[in-house]
Amino acid sequence: MNTKTDFAKYLSRFLSSYLSHERNVSSNTIAAYRDSFVLFINYMKDEKHIKVDKLTLDSMTKDNVISFLRWLTDQKGCNISTRNCRLAAIHSFISYLQYEKVEKLNEWQSILEIKVMKKETNAPNYLAVDGIKLLLAQPDAESYGGLRHLSMLALMYDTGCRVQELIDLTVDSLRIQTEPYTIRIYGKGRKTRIVPMVRNQIIFLRKYMDRYGLNDDRHLTHLLFFNNRGEKMTRTGVTYILKKYADMARQITPSLIPERISCHSLRHSRAMHLLQAGVNLIWIRDLLGHKTIQTTEVYARADSNQKRVAFEKAYKDMLPDKGKDGEWQKNQTLLDWLKGLQKK
C-alpha cells in the first residue's frame, strides 16, 4: 500500500496490525472497519475534493467526521444503525491515534465526543410458523441447487444463526453422526457457542452432505456451504437465495410472507417461535449468542399475542354490576338518563 501520507501510513497499520495483533479483533470486524474508511475516503474525494494521495490526518477533524456522518444518512440513505457503525470504526481509529499522534490529542478527543445517534427500537420482523413452512417448501430438494438452498435456509432458521455465521461454518462445525446432535457456531467477538439440534432438523442437511461428498474426513475443514464455483458465499448471495424463495412463497400466500424480509428475519422468527412455545428467555439468549438477556427481551416485548393470552388468564372482573352501567340504554336518550341521574 502507498503510505506516503500520514493518513495512509497510520490507517494501514491500524487495519493490518493493531486490530488483529493487539486488539484480537475478528476478521469480520476488520472488514467492516475497512469498508467504513473506504466510504470516508470516497466522501473526502467527492465532497471535499481531496484525493486519497493528498488525504492527511489534518483532514480528520470533528467537522469533517460530522459532515461525513450526515452525508451517509442524507445522501447515501444509510439508516441510523449503519451510521453508528461507521462512527464506531472512526472512534476506534482515533483511539489508536491518541497514542500514536499525541500532539493532536485535542482534536482526537473532540472527535471521540461525537455521540452515537439514538435510534427507534422497532419490533423484530419475523414470519409466522406457517410462513416459515411455506418458505422452506419452495426449494426443489431433488435438485443439487435446491437441496443446498433448503439446507442453508433451514439451518439458518433452526439454529438462529446470523448470515455471516452461516457463511463461516465448516464441516467440522457439525456433530450429527450420533446423538446428541450439535453445531458449533463461531459468532461475534470471537465467541463460540454450541447449539443443540434434533433429528428432524438434520434430515435434509445429511442428504446435502451425502450428495456433495462432505462426509469424508478429508473435508472436515472445508466450508459447509459454498457457491457454484466452490468459493465462499457472500451475504449478498445468501440474501439473494432467501429473497428468491420468499418471492415464490409470496405468490402462493401473500399474507404469510412480508414484503420486507432479510436473513435476520429467520433469526427473529426462530426466537419468536421458541418464546411462543414457552422456552426460557435465557436459553433463547444462549441460542442466539446474545451478550445480555436485555438484548433477548426485545422478543418478549414484541410478542403481543403472548401478552394478550397472559393478561386474559390473569384477568379478574373488578367492574361493578353491568346492569347499572346499562340503565341509560333503557331511556330514550343518553341526555334523558343524565337529567334523571341526580333525582335518584
Domain boundaries, the chain: 6-112, 129-306
Q: How confident is the model at residue 124 (pLDDT cuts 50, 70, 90)?
A: confident
Who wins on pLDDT, 97 or 306? Answer: 97
Q: Of the given ranges (34-38, 143-147, 219-223, 329-333), which has the lowest mean pLDDT? A: 329-333
Q: What is the mean pLDDT of the chain?
A: 87
Angle between helices 263-276 and 129-136 (to 10 degrees): 130
What's the number of CA atoms in the CB half-sphere (13 Å) around residue 311? 6
Query: According to the model, what pLDDT value does residue 56 have?
Result: 95
Phi, psi of 95 (to 5 degrees): -60, -40
Q: State mean pLDDT over 146-170.
A: 95
Residue 28 — pLDDT band, cuts 50, 70, 90?
confident
pTM of the model as a whole: 0.70
> What pLDDT sits at residue 340?
66
Name the range with the highest mean pLDDT among 27-31, 69-73, 285-289, 330-334: 69-73
How far is residue 106's CA from residue 90's CA, in Å, rounded to a whole number?
16
CATH 1.10.443.10 for domain 129-306, yes or no, is yes
pLDDT confidence band for 188 (50 / 70 / 90): confident
Matching CATH number, 6-112, of 1.10.3470, 1.10.150, 1.10.540, 1.10.1060? 1.10.150
pLDDT in tens, 277-325: 888 888 989 989 888 887 787 777 776 665 565 556 666 555 565 555 5
Q: What integer pLDDT is reported at residue 218 of this predicted model?
A: 81
